[in-house]
Amino acid sequence: MGDRLQKILSRHGIASRREAEQLILAGRVAINGQTIAELGTKADPERDRIEVDGKLLQTHAPQFIYLLLNKPIGVVCTCNDPQSRRTVIDILPSPYKHIYPVGRLDYNSSGALILTNDGEFANYLMHPRHHVSKTYEVWVKDIPNEQKIKQWQEGIMLEGKRTFPAIVNVLQVEHPPHQNSRTLLQIVLSEGRNRQIRKMAEQFGHPVLALHRVAIASISLNNLKSGTYRHLSDREIATLYPSYLTVSVANLSC
């Protein structure tokens, strides 16, 4: 009996469930001294000795942390960078070095990013079927006409697959002297393809000049300054992850 190994690793904050699967397939996980390289293997952390890269897994799941960070430009959304660039983990104080980002924001993009050590929570937010919305403010070159805005709202073919409908509003148009005009768009997406806004803007002939994510679902940056973070409230976590309240009550009763 027991749970699937990737679920246990996720619940213990080692990685999201998807990333935990990659750890297993890479042969970096062992149960009772035997390396496991197949998905579907079950274990009981209270009875079995589970190791990741030779480090013993704690019997009980750690206390979960949920942070909202305003990611600056020039920082990568990863825990370790082979190019030695500054990462989002480098921004955080030492007690939070064991958490990881949920999803990604480009190196040249800024804004709202959630970090956690709750793998189930991370897996829920990143799963395509949950359509967690994200709101962006995006400066693009020149002024998109109404037809292009409508196409963006309805969805277009991008890399062989149609994009989901999106909310696209024009917030501001500027005509700087001796420079090209630019337009500030508010864009709300319910899917998370890689560099989707930049690719769509390029396809429309209005490349992105600056991209800032202002909200994830109803969780807004508000006055959170660039490079700073705050803890999510229980209410905020529950709006993102409906199972949170059930899990919290269960933990309190243990």
Q: How far is CA 254 from the centre of its chain?
A: 30
- Residues 175, 142: Cα–Cα separation, whole Å: 9
The amino acid sitting at 163 is T
- Residues 154, 134: Cα–Cα separation, whole Å: 17
CA atoms 247, 251, 252, 253: torsion sign: positive
Q: Give the CA diameter of the chain.
A: 71
**Alpha carbon separation from 228 to 50, 52, 121, 192 (Å, rounded):** 35, 31, 22, 24
Strands (E), the chain: 3-4, 29-31, 34-36, 42-43, 50-52, 55-56, 66-71, 100-101, 110-116, 134-141, 157-158, 161-162, 167-174, 182-189, 208-216, 219-220, 229-231
Could you identify the residue written with the tokens 């005509």?
Answer: 175
> Which residues make beta-bridge pairs with 87?
76
The catalytic position among 53, 106, 118, 142 is 106
3 is catalytic: no
- Residues 218, 122: Cα–Cα separation, whole Å: 16
- Residues 199, 215: Cα–Cα separation, whole Å: 20
Residues with a catalytic annotation lie at 106
